[in-house]
Each structure stands twice: as structure tokens, then as C-alpha cells.
Structure 1
Amino acid sequence: MVLSMKITDSAPVNAALGTGGRFRAPRRAAAGAPRVHRPGARGASVSARARGVRLACAAAWSVLVLGCRGHEPVAVTHPLDPLDAREMDVAREVLLAAGRLGGPRRVSLLDVHEPPKADVVAGRPTRREAFAVVYDARRNETAEAVVDLAARRLASWRLVPGAQPPLDPSDAALADSLVRASAAWRAAVARRGVRDLSTVEVAPWSAGYFGSDAPATARVVRVDTYVRARRPNDMARPIDGVGVVVDLTRRLVRVEDAAAAYPPPDAANEDAAWRPLPPPTTDAPSVTGGGASAAAVRVDGSLVRWRRWRLRVAMRPREGLVLYAVGFDDGARVRSVLHRASLSEMVVPYGDPGPGWYFRNSFDAGEIGMGVGVAALRPGVDAPAGATFVDAVLADVHGVPHRRPRAIAVYERDGGLAWTHAGTGRRARELVVFALCNLGNYDYGFEWTLREDGTIAHRVLLTGAMAARGVPNATAGAHDSLAHPVTGGVAAVHHQHFFSYRLDLDVDGASPNRVDEIETRALDAGPANPYGGGFAAHERTLATERAARRPLDLASARRWIVLNPAARNALGRPTGYLLEPEASAEPFARPGSWVRRRAGFLDAAVWATPFRDDERYAAGDYPYQSPGGDGLARWTAADRPIDGTDVVLWYTLGVTHNPRPEDWPIMPVQAAGFRLVPVGFFDRNPTIGDR
């Protein structure tokens, strides 16, 4: 990791020490007032030599400053409570009195010395002790100390041969001075057009260990350099191809200067990444804060408008909740992302092969109907009380329409941290579209979340009551590989849920699209990968339907991206959206089994087909008592080309449910899902400057 510690000549010490030598916390902005970074506002008192390693040093200095006299002690109520200021005072005084601190020796860590867990758990009296890691820079030695705080004595002191403690501000300052003193480094930087060294930041990174790469007795860092950023991203303008190996026992090992030398990115490039998007081309509701809210969402019939997102929602009797006409307003136009997204089919195979269970593999969409089972959402229970609710109209067996109130909930909620760095950042908001379907014993919630950064996330929420079988009370605790006891006389059978999603992605238009697969693999050992840590991402186009039948592969972080080669971003690359799977499961039903024949979509996690209006259901139009072989399995047997067509992506999401007592009587929600993530759809982080 980079040592992101920066030191001025005296500013950080003075900032950390308030009047009377006390630690002073940074001032907080007024409530509700955004923190504004002003370009060029960095202090002029910072020396050119030390600018590259200026430290916001509250954390480092608190070890020595929080113990200053005058601090009130913090009441210790548990043996594992952290040290208070008075205890740090005592530990420091003991180390100084023992000659173990001062001069070249510095504290790398000071913490509570945890007593034995058995004593803590048993409630037995324990000693209050401090644990310190002390580094001797002159000898390049590390020691551990334990201080008995009540007795004010050094309980133990132990050298740790070969150990190097974490990097600290002193290391950063030394690395900075050694690098700047190097003529070879200055020449390498100058070759890249950087001659004003006062504009250069020096960033030490932990170096790791690679055999003979550095002296065995060294304390080594690797240093990168950057042109000082005007915005809160210190790495926005790297001086590429220049690396320095520094031995912090006070010598520079070498300067690595790549043959290719080109100037760092200019300031305009950096500023462009922070440029906010233009205002939406269509009117949008004002932004609200707080928790879940309907005030920031506008719903007109099926049309939903929120921030920059525009979409329509519907409740369909078979598929349930459907999103369509999903687009993002980038300030120039509303750009299409999804033509239609829905659950295409699902199946729930149970693992018990016994006569009462082998047939249990319901196709809940095709055999029952997700929309048919849609629940009337209860404000404050199934959805926030402040949500906007959309009714649905469904026909009964006589064709008579019936209104299902509150079938869909639409609301804004807190989306967590959007981004943060260097004292600036913002909180995220997100739009939720939600429906709940009850299908017999199980309830399924379908939640689509649209985020300000362009991400579309989907989660299916599994709850309800598990299918179970009775067992004799006497054997309720006995091992059964097919089921798990959940209460006296009851065992719930192991089972799986598989959901096939049809994702008709129209990224900046329906055609021409293509699907690329991205895999990341380790580089082969050899001269091009001398330390064995190299890895690279490989991308290939899936040209036909059979080529696009793909399993998940955790080992290669396999993902899929739908690209539009006719639409290019500022870097000249096709715009795209990436399918990013989350946790999933493989089917345990054997290939060739009946459930696998009928649910052919289980044969791959990802499928891609050229769009056809009549290809909507992954297991075919009529899965009830179907012998199988229909749907995706049949369509893709033709191996039609998909490169350059209007591509439909299909994703099979799996959940393995091994029941537990905590799932009984009503199981708490278990969530599974995936994300659709923009890749090159925007030229930068679209949330920068957007409020």
C-alpha cells in the first residue's frame, strides 16, 4: 500500500497540538454545509522539499500527544477497552525512564495489551497493561515492550530479529529527502518534461519481499512520484516509468527509469474527471436527504423519474415485476441502457430423491405466475411508509380484472458512501423498485436498485416458510444428509432456487451489440513476470450462441460486458455495461436428469441470443408437464451469430438452501443478486459534482 502520509516542516505538529499542548480535533463544517476543496489552497508554508510527504498526522501523533498532562482519563469498563490518555502517559514515561525510548527509538504502535481470553471470559481480575512496538532507526531493530500500568514498570522488553514495523511519517520524510537528492531521479523526471521539483509529490509504498531484490538487512520502500494534484486525488497525474527503491537505513538503492518517457497527464485532464454532468434534459424532482423518501421520485402511471434515471415499471402476471425503457440522462440526452429486464423463469429443485420429494422442482413463473402471486405491500412493513405505491390490475380465471393495490413500491433511500478521498466526498442516494410475490410456502421479493453512478443492482429476497417433512422426535437430532432438523419432529429438506433473468440490454441503442467475456489470469512465470505476482485481464468476443453458453469461474473473476461498437466514449472505446455476478450456486441435479432437461437454462450461468420477440421464457412457453428441451436450450442449438446483433443476455442465479433452525418458523430474508455496471458508458465518475 502507498504510505499516504505527508509532512510539512512544522504545520502538522502545530495543527495537532492545540493550546496547552493538547490534541485538537479538526474543526467540523457547519451542519449541512458541504466541504469544499479549493484548488490551489494548499498552504504556502509547506516547503518544496517536504510537500511530497505532508502528513495529516492526527493518527500518528495521537500516540504521543493524547497522553499530555491535562487530559481527563477515560473510564475503563472492560479489560479490552483501549488505552486512555493517562495510560499512554504512563507507558511513555516508563519507556523513557528505562532508556527504551528517545533518540533514534520511536514508537510504532501503542495499544492495550490484551489479557488472556480465558480470564476475560471467566471474569477473573486482570492486569491493565500497555503494549508497545518500538523501532530503533539507528540499529534498524524492532522491539516489543509490555508496561504494567498500575505498577508503572516495564514488565518485558523483547527484540524481534528481522522484524520491520509499519511505515510511519519519519520514513516518509526520509524517503522524500533521499529521492530528491538523487541526480538520477531528477534526470528521469526531467526526461518526462517535469523540471519544477516543487510540483512533485513523492509517494512511498511498502515494498514486499522478492528474494534478492533488496539487501536482507534493509528497511525498503518503493517510491512513485506524481505531479501535485489540484483536486483531492493525489495520484491523478503520475510520472510514469520512474521508480525508486529506497533503503530507509539511509541510502537509495536504485532508480528505475523505463525506456519510454512521456509527460504526465496535464491539469486539464485531471479537471475533466471532476467536471459535473450538465443538468438533465428533462425536469427532475428536487433532491431530499434523510431516509427512504417518495418526495424525490416522480411517478406518472408507469413512468418513473428520479435524478438522471428514466424508466417504466409494470407488474406482469407471469414474470412479475418488469422494468423497461430504462435510460440515463447525461445532460445531453437520455441514453438507453435496458430495453427490458425481468425474471424469465425459475425452478426450485429439492434434493431428497424419495418418493414424496423427487418431483418437487416447481417452475414458479411458468407453472404458477409471479404476477399472479403479487402481494399488496404494507407500508412500513414490506416497504417504507413513505414510498410511492403503484397498483396492478390482474384478471381472474373468468377474465374479470381485479385491482391489486400497492403491487409495486418506488422510493429513494440512502445509498451509503458514494466516494471519498482527501477530505472531500459525498453520500449516495439510490432508487428502489420493489415487489413481493407469494407462491405457496415461499415469498420472493424482487428489488431493482438504480444508483447515481449508473449501476443497476438486482436482489431477490427469499423468505417465507420452508418445505419440511416430519421426523420422529427421538431422531430429531440425528444426522440426515437430505434434510436438517429445524424443530422437534420437523426437518426441512435441502433444496436450491434458480432464477433465470432476461436482460435485454440496449446500450446506447439496440444494435449493433456484442458480448465480450473478461477473464483475469496469472501471468506465466518467466522473465516477463520475475517475481510471480503479475496478472492480466483478457477480453474476447463471444461470436455465437454456443460460444456464449458460459459457466461462472471464480478463479478467473469471469464477467461479461455488452458493448455497442457504434457508440464511443471519449477514449475511443465502445460504451458498455458489465454483468457482475455475486454469490451463486451450481445445480446438483445431474446432467440428463429430468429437472435439467426441463430447466435447460441450468446448463450455463450466462447465455446470449439475438433478440426475437417470441423468445422470452427460458424454459419455454409452457413448462408445465413439459418433457424439456425447450427455451434457451432449443433456441441456442442453432448457434446463431450474436456479434453485431441486438443481443439479449440471460443470467442464471442460483441459491443453495441448507436449512437451519434459525430459518424456522419463518426464514429471515436471504438475499442474492447481481449488478449491471457501466464500463466506458461514462467518461468519468458521473457522481462528481452532482448533488
Structure 2
Amino acid sequence: MTAVQPRTATGHPLGMTTETEVATVREVLDAAGLLTEHVRYAFFAPEEPSKDEVLAGGPADRRFRAVLLDLSTGRSWDTVVSVTAGELVSVRELEPERDGQPPIIDSEFEFIEDVLNASPDWLAALEKRGIEPASVRAVPLSAGVYDYPEEKGRRLARAFGFRQDHEADHAWAHPIDGLVAYVDLTARTVDRVIDTGVVPVPETSGNFDDPAVQGPPLEGLKPIEITQPDGRSFTVDDGHVRWGKWDLRIGFNEREGLTLHQIAFDDRPVCYRASVAEMVVPYADPAPVRFWQNYFDCGEYMFARYADSLQLGCDCLGDIHYLDATLADDLGNPKTVRNAICMHEEDYGVLWKHTDVFTGSSEVRRQRRLVISFFTPIGNYDYGFYWYLYLDGTIELECKATGIVFTSGTPGEYATEIAPGLGAPYHQHLFSARLDMTVDGLANAVEEVEAVRIPMGEGNPYGNAFGRSATRLTRESQAQRDASPGTGRVWHVVNTEKTNGLGQPVGYVLHPLGQPTLLADEASSIHARATFASKALWVTRYDPAERYSAGDFVNQNPGGAGLPSYVAADREIDGQDVVLWHTFGLTHFPRPEDWPVMPVDYTGFTLKPAGFFDRNPALDVPPGTSKDCH
């Protein structure tokens, strides 16, 4: 039954979210009686049409998914609304013990200090340390799932305290260690306070933005100006991007942030959808107050809802095109992040070059890339996500980690001393990219390719030979793979029905960086909940319902959701519509140089054509026109 005035679908089914659509979803939910006084949005994002609907062309039903949380009861509902029809499509109440909890939201962050300051045990712990409660900034963090029967089915957080000496003081420099509170977010009470004893609060300064800490400005750096006198080489229309031979759509939602859709090169499809579908930050300190410290920044916090409004000359340099991102706030009202997405071109050095000894010819072309990026702060860290498209058909994702390392007052076996008395626990930043591949069509397969040493002997008398092995991954059970930097292991996504001019299958190759995956023990709670991060590669058969690496509801999910459940059916993946899930990231043993603010650290992966073309696809790039290039 229609609840509000229908909105006629216009534009592309994957077009950017509009403020009108956000408002319409709220009207429908309100008319259905779901938005009562204490109900808040815990999640809001487009519910994209299935791939076959989009590829068939024509208008599609514009739908949005909203997860609702009643702050007074802890009950929550997963809903889908059709903006096109102006009606509620579905609603399901979550079962917390089975499904997990909705993400933690701003409305809960806001009351956490009041809850702690109403706890006699918390106040007593601060008094024992000689700390005034008013000077303490509380950090509520996701609780995870552990062997505490009394926590089952309840909405929880665990909270640390940091002392803030004045309004401009960065409290991360002053952790109140040996102390943690377990908080019931629905009852707004403290379940228990764990106090393992007084630890001196570090007195170092973390005020990296204080000129006295920064010191005199570095002299001698001349301005860098990047100009394009004839304007940009790319066009953008409602998220539809054209640049050189590239054609794609971009989107944005609060859980994944920037998404790329229908990526094609020279009118040939490469990847239907690419995103960072999850990330987890597991910490290594087993102390009684810290063993539970693991964050799923996408699934537990919807980290892209905090995306920065980017600034020309600071975050982005050059001839910039910005795009706004429209989200929903806790009350379901439109929230537009201005300049959330930055797009520009960058020179990237030499593309190809040769000076020939026989002909005397000398040719060189310059590489450039299209950069599509956003930056988001989440607590102490800041993350940048940069998708790069190159003139030779290469796709790259670079993730940048900066901000402030999480601190402790106990440097030791599992933490680096980064300033006097200030510790930074060891941890990992593990990202999961979801790559819905369509390499020249839907009939794809994945081969694991690596170098092979050939023993000296018959056929290799001088021992110089080495070869190449290629193993077809035919089922989901077989396609759960580790990286192998020592053998140069890569994964080829090939089309099983199309070949190039040499008779070889057309393909694209996923090149991993090969850094460590999840280091936690296989029997640990975090391993059960972040199983996706235990392998560098998973390959699944496409299913539109399988969107997130750790499942739909990550907060307080007991484990087994996401990729472990997706591959349980062990579907065939040879010559099918396949999705690659790639784990990559950083294992961070903090350095003193990471304090008081961390220089950017980098991680990512690359997709390169391999047999997709018959020859170098960038031969037609024109020579440079600079007056300095002859």
C-alpha cells in the first residue's frame, strides 16, 4: 500500500543519492509508524538493483535500506523502502544473539560520559588516580563478543578514559590506563569497571597543532602549482565519469564510502562494482583491560558518514572537480557532505619510452592517472581511499592511514614506547576489497599464477630455467588463498568465452602486496568474527545479497557471518559470474616518528590487464606539448 506520494524514477538506477530521496524514505518510515520518539537511524544506504536488472537497461526501482534502532528498548529493524513507489517494501526485526547489533551511532557517543560519571565505581577509580571526572574524555568502543553469558542479546560498549588538560589539548596523549568500563547502551548504566591498578598518566604533549610543538616552519620549500590551461580531460554527469578510454560510474554510501560501478575501458567491461566492503583493526595487547580491542570501522561505525569536506590546496591539488555526498543523520534527515569526493588528473612520470640503436628513433610518452578519492576520520585515525585509473588500462587502489595512534600508559611487550611513558599497542589495519569482476563479460574464471623454480638437470643443465604455473580455481572451497611474495603469486581473472588476437583468454590480474593477513589465533573471537581477513583472496559466485565481508550486522555478531557463510555452499566458480574479495593492509608496530601525528602509511593493490589487449593499449597517447619537450 502506497504510504506517500510516489517519486517517478529518473536518471540511472545507480545515480547518486539525492536529498529528496532521503526525505522520501523518512516520510515512508514515519507513515508506517516506525519513527517513534526514541528511534534513530543506525544505517542508511542505497539498496542497489541486482546486476541483471542494471545490465538489462531501462528504469529500475530506486530503493534504500535503513536500519532503525530504538534507544529506549534496544530493539532494531532492518527496512527497505521504495522511493519510486513511495512505499515500505520490507521490515524485519533483528534478533541480536543471532544477527548481531546495528552500528554504534552518534546519539550513543553523546551520552557516554554522563553514564560513566553516574557510576560510583568509575568515579572511585578516577579519585584513586587523583583525576577530576570533568577532565576525562570517554571513548566508547565496540564490545565484540566474548564468553560473558550475561552480555548475550544486550547492546554494549566498552569505554576507556583519556585526560584532557584544556580545551585544545589532544587527550590521546594522556591515557588513563589499567581502567575500562563495560557499558549497557540501552539501560545507560555501567555493568562493571575493571581496574587493574594505578598506572601513571603520561604527561607528554600530543598537541601537534600547537606552533610551540611544531617548531619554526621549515624554510626553503617553494610553492608547487599544478595547472591545466585547457581545463580537465574528464567529464562527470550524475556520477557518470568519462576520461580517455575509461567509462564508469561512482557512488557513495556511509558504510563503504566511495564505490565504483560499471568500469569499462575502450567500451569493454572490466569490473561491475568495486568497493572496500569491510575493514578491521585488531590490537595485539592481551592485557585484561585491552584484550577485546578490535574495531570494524565499516560494519560497526559506518565510518564514511564522517567523511571530510575536502579543501583545495590542502587535501587536493590541481584542477579539481568535487562531488557532494548525501547521507542521512540519526533522525533520518538529509545530511550532505560538501566536497566529499575529489577528482583530478595527475602526471605520473614516463608511460613508455625507447631510444633505438639501429633506427635512431627516440619516442617517449608521459603517464597520467585519474584520481578519485575521499578521506574520513574515525576516532583517532584518518583514512584516505584513492582509486587510480591509468592510461594503459591499470586500476589501483591506495589506502592511506594517518592521524593519531591509539595510546596506552604501558609500553612493554605488545606496545612501542613512542614518547616518555606513552605506549602505542601493536595492531593491524586490514581492508577487504570487494571486486565484482566482469572481464569482457560475465563468464569469468580465476587462475592462480606464480613463478616456479626448475631444478638443474635434464632439460636445464645450467640451472638458469624457471617457469610459470597456472592453477584454475574451480570451486569456492578451493578459492581461499594466501599471498606468496616469494613466488610472485597473482590471480588472473580470465574470460572463458573470449580470446585475444593471439588465441589467449582475455584477462585482468590482481597483484597483491603480500603483507600479513590476520595474525590473531584461529581459536580467537576476533578470528571468528573477521574470518575474511585470514585469507588474502576469496572467490565467490555472484549473489546480490552477499555484499559485506563480515556480514550485514557486524557489531556484536558472534562470528561466522559474511564470507564463511557465503562459501559454505561451495559453488562452482569456473566460467561463472564471480566476485573477488581481497584482503590487504598494514601490520603496524608504531614508531616514535608516528607521534604526535602519524605520517601517512600506504597499502593497496593493483589490477592490470593481461591479454585483455593484443598490444600496448597506450600507443595512441599523444606526445607531450610542453615547450620544454622537443
Same-fold call, TM > 0.5? Answer: yes
In structure 2, relative to structure 1, the CA distance for the partners of 1:376 and 1:493 (3 Å cut) is same
Q: What residue identity is the alignment partner of 2:575? A: G
Contact 1:338 1:506 in 2 (8 A): yes
1:553 aligned to 462, 484, 500, which one? Answer: 484
Q: What residue identity is the alignment partner of 2:269? A: S
- 1:499 and 1:539 map into 2 onto residues whose CA distance is 26
CA-to-partner distance for each residue in 1:9-43, whole Å, 9 max, x for gaps?
Answer: xxxxxxxxxxxxxxxxxxxxxxxxxxxxxxxxxxx
2:591 is matched with which residue? Answer: 660
SS in 2 for 1:371: helix
Q: CA RMSD in A?
A: 1.3
Matches within 5 A, 1:26-425: 291=226, 295-329=232-266, 334-422=267-355, 423-425=362-364
1:446 aligned to 381, 385, 388, which one? Answer: 385
2:556 aligned to 614, 625, 638, which one? Answer: 625
- Provide the TM-score with structure 1 as the length reference: 0.55
- 2:368 and 2:449 map into 1 onto residues whose CA distance is 30
- Provide the TM-score with structure 2 as the length reference: 0.61
1:467 aligned to 380, 384, 406, which one? Answer: 406
SS in 1 for 2:527: helix
CA-to-partner distance for each residue in 1:140-164, whole Å, 9 max, x for gaps?
Answer: xxxxxxxxxxxxxxxxxxxxxxxxx
Q: Are 2:578 and 1:647 aligned?
A: yes
- 1:650 and 1:408 map into 2 onto residues whose CA distance is 24
- 1:615 and 1:640 map into 2 onto residues whose CA distance is 14
Q: What residue identity is the alignment partner of 2:405? A: M
CA-to-partner distance for each residue in 1:626-647, whole Å, 9 max, x for gaps?
Answer: 1100110111122111001101
Q: What residue identity is the alignment partner of 2:512? A: P
Structure 2 unaligned residues grouped into runs of 5+? 1-224, 356-361, 623-630
Measured after TM superposition, the shift of residue 489 of structure 1 is 2.4
- 2:332 and 2:288 map into 1 onto residues whose CA distance is 37
- 1:678 and 1:319 map into 2 onto residues whose CA distance is 25
Measured after TM superposition, the shift of residue 308 of structure 1 is 1.0
Measured after TM superposition, the shift of residue 583 of structure 1 is 4.5
- 1:583 and 1:647 map into 2 onto residues whose CA distance is 22
Measured after TM superposition, the shift of residue 291 of structure 1 is 4.0
- 1:689 and 1:372 map into 2 onto residues whose CA distance is 41
1:495 is matched with which residue? Answer: 427
- 2:227 and 2:275 map into 1 onto residues whose CA distance is 24
Q: What residue identity is the alignment partner of 2:250? A: V
Measured after TM superposition, the shift of residue 356 of structure 1 is 2.2
- 1:638 and 1:493 map into 2 onto residues whose CA distance is 39
In structure 2, relative to structure 1, the CA distance for the partners of 1:292 and 1:441 (3 Å cut) is farther
- Dislocated runs of 4+, deviation >2 Å: 290-294
Measured after TM superposition, the shift of residue 690 of structure 1 is 2.1
1:683 is matched with which residue? Answer: 614
Contact 2:485 2:514 in 1 (8 A): no
SS in 1 for 2:430: strand
- 1:624 and 1:456 map into 2 onto residues whose CA distance is 32
Contact 1:575 1:679 in 2 (8 A): yes
Contact 1:443 1:462 in 2 (8 A): yes
Q: What residue identity is the alignment partner of 2:352? A: W
Contact 2:477 2:570 in 1 (8 A): yes
Q: What residue identity is the alignment partner of 2:315? A: D
CA-to-partner distance for each residue in 1:185-231, whole Å, 9 max, x for gaps?
Answer: xxxxxxxxxxxxxxxxxxxxxxxxxxxxxxxxxxxxxxxxxxxxxxx
SS in 1 for 2:480: coil
SS in 2 for 1:460: strand
Q: What residue identity is the alignment partner of 1:632? A: L
- 2:602 and 2:501 map into 1 onto residues whose CA distance is 37
Measured after TM superposition, the shift of residue 555 of structure 1 is 2.1
- 1:550 and 1:624 map into 2 onto residues whose CA distance is 26
Contact 2:430 2:517 in 1 (8 A): no
Q: Which of these two proteins has the greater Rg computed from alpha carbons?
A: 1
CA-to-partner distance for each residue in 1:327-356, whole Å, 9 max, x for gaps?
Answer: 112xxxx11111000011110000100122
Q: Are 2:390 and 1:457 aligned?
A: no
